Amino acid sequence: MKIWLSGASSGLGLALARQLLSDGHQVAVSARRAEPLQTLAGDFPGQVLVLPADLTDASSVAQLAQTLQHHWAQLDMAILNAGTCEYMDVQHYQHALLEHVVRTNLFSASLCIEHLLPLLRRSAHGHLVAIGSSATFFPLPRAEAYGASKAALRYLMESLRVDLAAEHIAVTLVSPGFIDTPLTAQNDFPMPMQLTAEQAARHIARRLPAQPQEINFPRVFIAILKLLNHLPAALRLAVGQYLSRNAKEDQSNKEHP
């Protein structure tokens, strides 16, 4: 199978690339930094197509798609993994921060979809996959920018699933809990049921062949978030405020041990 994967230079993307390559697939990998991609190609000779790109830049994505078409002609699966996570301090609300996160997590995915859909259409079993977040199941403290970008990505993917069904292109949204990556290493709050990048990659790779509509994990963590979201509005607000207070206390304790 020919697979394109973004954000493959570190964290979940790198672990997922290694898992897919170990499973015998051909994988085109993209990220801004070429060096980790070249290292990956050296570890899996003949299986890796290195396509460094800035996915927030339209011309860069267009060039990526042209190169991919030149080498492969078609694409069986596209995995939109590239993204960022930055938290908002509501005392100093910044539109620029939200704009940056939405551009990175949503607009870059949209650019890739525009340019890669024609290649997916050439496959007999095209599969579009996006890495979302469990943050879309319940509003979390300081996640205004990150949560909004991932909630928009969820709606985009769910709408695409409806419109692409007639073309037999499957659409899967992956919504993981906390994963140990360079991004989450910067978090200053407890991360329950956290998985390693390798554990998450194995789980995703195992589920992808069935082309499910969603891949959500860990199950218990997701179930708790969904249960919280079904509470009455007043209780949801109370839980959110409790989590917000705890997050502030954890941050303060780390800053002033």
Domains in the chain: ranges and CATH: 2-255 (3.40.50.720)
Distance from C-alpha of 8 to C-alpha of 201, rounded to nearest angstrom: 12
Supply 127's token pair. Answer: 């599969």
CA nearest 136: which of 188, 175, 189?
A: 175
Give the pLDDT of the chain (257 residues) as one tens digit per residue: 999 999 999 999 999 999 999 999 999 999 999 999 999 999 999 999 999 999 999 999 999 999 999 999 999 999 999 999 888 888 899 999 999 999 999 999 999 999 999 999 999 999 999 999 998 998 888 889 999 999 999 999 999 999 999 999 999 999 998 888 666 656 555 666 788 999 999 999 999 999 999 999 999 989 998 998 888 999 988 987 887 766 555 554 444 34
pTM for the structure as a whole? 0.90
pLDDT at position 22 is 97
The one catalytic residue among 87, 93, 146, 242: 146
Active site residue 155: no
Supply 55's token pair. Answer: 């996915």
CA 209 to chain centre: 18
DSSP string, 168-179: T-EEEEEEE--E
pLDDT at position 243 is 74
Distance from C-alpha of 96 to C-alpha of 102, rounded to nearest angstrom: 10
Query: How far is the CA of 1 from the CAs of 27, 52, 209, in angstroms?
Result: 8, 21, 10
pLDDT at position 246 is 64
The amino acid that residue 112 corresponds to is C
Helix (H, G, I), strand (E, B) or coil at 218: coil
